[in-house]
Structure 1
Amino acid sequence: MSTPLRGILHAHQSSLSVAHRLLDLAVIVLGGYCQNFLTDAPMTAEAWSQILLAVLVFHWLGEYHQLYGSWRGERIIRELIKVANYWGLTFVVLLSADYLLLNHADLPDNGQMTWFAGVLVALCGYRLAIRSLLHTLRSRGFNTRRVAIVGTGQCGERLAMSIDSAPWMGLDLLGFYDEVPEQMDLARIGRRIPVLGDLDQLVADARDGKIDKVYITLTLGAQARLQALIKGLSDTTASVYVIPDVFMFELLHARSESINGLPSISIFDSPMDGAWSMVKRVEDIVLSSLILAMIALPLMLIAIAIKFTSPGPVLFRQRRYGLDGRPIMVWKFRSMSVQENGEVVTQATRNDSRVTPLGAFMRRTSLDELPQFFNVLRGEMSIVGPRPHAVAHNEQYRKQVSGYMLRHKVKPGITGWAQINGWRGETDTLDKMQKRVEFDLQYIEHWSVWLDLKIILLTLFKGFVNKNAF
């Protein structure tokens, strides 16, 4: 194997992060100055104060959320999303300060919007240019890092495939090291990656300066081996990273957390935490209020029709599990002649005799679900989320479907990712419930406001009427 070139930026990571900070500062300041210059507006003390506040807020957000760390192993889209989020939050702070402190009621004006858009394009544009330049350099053997993986198990193999499939990271995988070097043949992952030796050989190669980065993929039970290896590598200049095999589990929105300085990794967590829970709640309040205003008349007409076509109450309230498994009472228009809400609840089936004639129409068109927008307004449900099941069904399926209760890491929804993908209605086989749970967990893992809006839009076209709804 030919000796790879040492990374030309190997000793300058801190210089690059400083350069990023200075470039961001320059873009924000020049953007504000150019906007005033092009509109012939004077650079008053108020204008400079606004620019200074923007610099301080954006810089604080970037530092606090590690915008200026290394992005070598991340795709550019994740960096650009962070930049857009932080600049958007900065702009909101500026508008709030203008409104509260300067009593500017007509916000934002055209000049401010031009500044916001111009700076956003510049902040993202120069990052794209730098990343493109780095990709070109790395494809020619520059700005690379020579890396080795410790451990030839499943975690090490997965890491090798990840590195090998992403040459834009500039990581030149030399090979594997393990206590039993002859045990693994990795030719099947695309190219032959050799097992170079045992752990003593790894330490010796690192001391000789042959390795820039070492990724350790040992099992959680290998504490003694891990401590001995790290002690040996501390006598080298190689950067050392530990990738615990906990990442081989099916993690649900995993994140790191510090407990009085002690780092920890969550395996199951919710994306609706902190500020994002507020964003989700605002989304629900705004949309549910608008929808209830639009459907007020249909709600009244349906209630009258139910009252005059079958005996019993208009609304049916059923006990179901909400956020974190806490019980809630979900509202529906009554569509059956019975109101099962106990330890045994029989699912509706095709041509079910318990369903009233009007109820059959409402269930096919999902009109019976409309009162749940009041549940949303009350904060018990969300417009988008995993559909809530009767408590009896929860207790049944939590014993049969792996990860079933993880659906309750978020509020239940009126519509969801599973429903628009066809997994709604009767779950007469275990496979159907497993697929529903699979799509629900996909939604939780990938949640965003845009995904919610996409699901709501798709629900309008294929979520209300469904062949499986009866």
Structure 2
Amino acid sequence: MKKRYSHFIKPIQIVIDLFIINIITYFVYDKEYLNIFFLSYISGFWLITSYFFGFYEVYRYTITLQLLKLLVKQFLFFIFGYFAYFGIFREGAIVNNQFLILILTIIGISFVKLSWLFLLKTYRSFGNNFRTTIVIGFDDSSKNIIKLFKSKSNLGYKYLGFFSDKIYKDKEYLGNLDAVFEYATKHVVDEIYCSLTLLSNEQIKKINKFALDRDIFLKLIPNSSELYSKNQSIEYYDDSLMVLNVNKLPFDFAENFYLKRFFDILFSIFVCLFILSWLIPILWVIVKLESEGPLVFKQGREGLNGKEFTCYKFRSMRMNKQSNEIHAAKNDIRVTKVGAFLRKTSMDELPQFLNVLLGDMSVVGPRPHLETLSLEYQKDVDNYLKRHIVKPGITGLAQIGGYRGEIKKRSDIKNRVRLDIFYIENWSFFLDIKIILQTVLNIFRGEEKAY
């Protein structure tokens, strides 16, 4: 079982830095001018600049010099924004302690930032907060990364061994390239390092697909003559040792995860308070008058990492034994008259905002499938399981792209998965907003597959 807690480090650092900025300002700033607007301004400006300049993009291989560069860049822009406030909102006013606040803030945050790096490296040097690694291929480049893992325990890497088609008597030799998949399935492996010199493109693709399915980070050890894709980010270990980071997805960044979750909660609370609060009692009467059974239909669906959760919907069918086996089809005799209206307007999906609040779903994401159907789709579609690395959504890019509802032919599910994966790899907050707006427009326009 993987227990990764490193994703908590960045949010904690952000909270500490904001606390330092606000507590210094509160106690030092001229009380005549102190107000919530100024505190909000400098906090917001700090967050915006830190996001754009990657102030919190500090990794276990980040060296002190890189950290100092981040501090200088961040404070240069923060100083500009700090004095801009007085030029715009306090023009002509004499505000005491401006420079004292700035100096104390720079000293405080710099001290905490450098101390944090030192303490983390010390903590990792004792064998804590480590990532388990294996290396595929055994050439000079691979040997350099292995040497680094062994010599610098403060980086927090636990090296397990290497794989190669050439047989070695070395105790760290774990088998040939085909043995990688079985080993990484049976053991906890956080990162795989592959030599580009010794592996073919097909082998890299195969390992990449396996790593994505198993939630393992894949890193490529390049040769100096290689050309690199713009989608690959370069990382430097120990100043000169270069490694390529593969498929760094938007949700690998903690700030994107928290932004999406924050929006999900706010949007869902709004829907629950202003729509579901009065709609539920009305629908309870109408649905009960037409057919027997509960208002809310509960069904097991596949969620994050393939884990099953209970998905809620307004019941649109008469009670039947096939509801957990097949999707609704056009002119389906199981659908009630009220249910047809609910499906046409997508109102049957509204209870899923409760799923969002519970943390099982997101407002936007790949639609959750029945486990029985999911097993069939996995056989037909490559990378199908990649959909499970994010929470399923009430609506999604595939749904507004015309691939909602019933799957009639193999191309339907292939196109749906293609759009789902495009969404995962290219997510942005504004893409979510665009999908939500398009979903609302489609409801009013009417959709051919909304049955």
Q: TM-score, normalised by structure 1?
A: 0.51
Classify 1:21/1:450 alpha carbon distance in 2 versus 1 (closer, same or farther; 3 Å).
same
Residue 306 (structure 2) pairs with residue 325 (structure 1): yes
Classify 1:217/1:355 alpha carbon distance in 2 versus 1 (closer, same or farther; 3 Å).
same
Within the candidate set 279, 283, 289, 1:302 is matched to 283
1:407 and 1:441 in contact (8 A); partners too: yes
Q: How far, CA to CA, are the matches of 1:315 and 1:23 in structure 2?
A: 54
Residue 82 (structure 2) pairs with residue 32 (structure 1): yes
Match of 1:208 in 2: none
Deviations 1:403-437 (A, max 9, x none): 11111110000011111121112110110111111
Q: Secondary structure at the residue paired with 1:287?
A: helix
Q: How far, CA to CA, are the matches of 2:304 and 2:318 in structure 1?
A: 29
Match of 2:163 in 1: none
Give, in angstroms, the shift of residue 264 of structure 1. Answer: 7.2
Give, in angstroms, the shift of residue 311 of structure 1. Answer: 1.1
For 2:298, the aligned partner's letter is R
2:250 and 2:256 in contact (8 A); partners too: no
Gaps of at least 5 residues in structure 2 are 1-66, 117-194, 202-221
Match of 2:199 in 1: 220
Deviations 1:147-196 (A, max 9, x none): xxxxxxxxxxxxxxxxxxxxxxxxxxxxxxxxxxxxxxxxxxxxxxxxxx
Deviations 1:185-229 (A, max 9, x none): xxxxxxxxxxxxxxxxxxxxxxxxxxxxxxx9756259xxxxxxx
Task: Please list, as runs of the form range in 1=range in 2, the aligned pairs for 1:141-160 lying within 5 A after superposition.
Answer: none
Q: How far, CA to CA, are the matches of 2:443 and 2:81 in structure 1?
A: 45
Count of residues in Structure 1 that have an aligned counterpart in Structure 2: 282
Give, in angstroms, the shift of residue 274 of structure 1. Answer: 2.9
Residue 93 (structure 2) pairs with residue 41 (structure 1): yes
Give, in angstroms, the shift of residue 376 of structure 1. Answer: 0.5
Within the candidate set 315, 337, 358, 1:334 is matched to 315
1:217 and 1:242 in contact (8 A); partners too: no
Q: TM-score, normalised by structure 2?
A: 0.53
Give, in angstroms, the shift of residue 267 of structure 1. Answer: 5.0
Within the candidate set 372, 384, 406, 2:352 is matched to 372
Q: How far, CA to CA, are the matches of 2:345 and 2:236 in structure 1?
A: 44
Match of 2:272 in 1: 292
1:285 and 1:377 in contact (8 A); partners too: yes
Q: How far, CA to CA, are the matches of 1:440 and 1:417 in structure 2?
A: 6
1:317 and 1:329 in contact (8 A); partners too: yes
2:299 and 2:310 in contact (8 A); partners too: yes
Within the candidate set 105, 129, 132, 1:53 is matched to 105
Q: How far, CA to CA, are the matches of 1:217 and 1:403 in structure 2?
A: 23
For 2:105, the aligned partner's letter is L
For 2:375, the aligned partner's letter is E
For 1:220, the aligned partner's letter is L
1:387 and 1:412 in contact (8 A); partners too: yes
1:319 and 1:341 in contact (8 A); partners too: no
Q: Secondary structure at the residue paired with 2:379?
A: coil
Deviations 1:340-395 (A, max 9, x none): 578x6122111111111111111111111111010011111011101111111111
Q: Secondary structure at the residue paired with 2:251?
A: coil
Gaps of at least 5 residues in structure 1 are 1-16, 65-215, 223-238
Q: How far, CA to CA, are the matches of 2:400 and 2:111 in structure 1?
A: 41
Residue 394 (structure 2) pairs with residue 414 (structure 1): yes
Q: Secondary structure at the residue paired with 1:383?
A: strand
Deviations 1:233-258 (A, max 9, x none): xxxxxx9746589x79xx9x999798
2:250 and 2:428 in contact (8 A); partners too: no
For 1:311, the aligned partner's letter is E
Classify 1:26/1:345 alpha carbon distance in 2 versus 1 (closer, same or farther; 3 Å).
closer
Classify 1:294/1:270 alpha carbon distance in 2 versus 1 (closer, same or farther; 3 Å).
same
1:424 and 1:468 in contact (8 A); partners too: yes
Q: Secondary structure at the residue paired with 1:398?
A: helix
For 2:199, the aligned partner's letter is L
1:285 and 1:376 in contact (8 A); partners too: yes
Match of 1:176 in 2: none
Q: How far, CA to CA, are the matches of 1:257 and 1:421 in structure 2?
A: 40
For 1:385, the aligned partner's letter is G
Q: How far, CA to CA, are the matches of 1:275 and 1:458 in structure 2?
A: 25
Classify 1:338/1:375 alpha carbon distance in 2 versus 1 (closer, same or farther; 3 Å).
same
1:257 and 1:265 in contact (8 A); partners too: no
For 1:32, the aligned partner's letter is Y
Q: How far, CA to CA, are the matches of 2:356 and 2:284 in structure 1?
A: 19
Match of 2:297 in 1: 316
Task: Please list, as runs of the form range in 1=range in 2, the aligned pairs for 1:122-137 lying within 5 A after superposition.
Answer: none
Q: Secondary structure at the residue paired with 1:330?
A: strand
Give, in angstroms, the shift of residue 331 of structure 1. Answer: 0.4
Deviations 1:27-78 (A, max 9, x none): 54355345435612334225641476379769999xx9xxxxxxxxxxxxxx
Residue 444 (structure 2) pairs with residue 392 (structure 1): no
Q: How far, CA to CA, are the matches of 1:448 and 1:362 in structure 2?
A: 30
Q: Secondary structure at the residue paired with 2:416?
A: helix
Q: How far, CA to CA, are the matches of 1:390 and 1:337 in structure 2?
A: 19
Q: Secondary structure at the residue paired with 1:437?
A: helix
2:79 and 2:102 in contact (8 A); partners too: no
For 1:378, the aligned partner's letter is L
Classify 1:337/1:286 alpha carbon distance in 2 versus 1 (closer, same or farther; 3 Å).
same
Q: What RMSD in Å do the two structures reach over aligned CA positions?
A: 4.2
Structure of higher CA gyration radius: 1
Q: How far, CA to CA, are the matches of 2:111 and 2:400 in structure 1?
A: 41
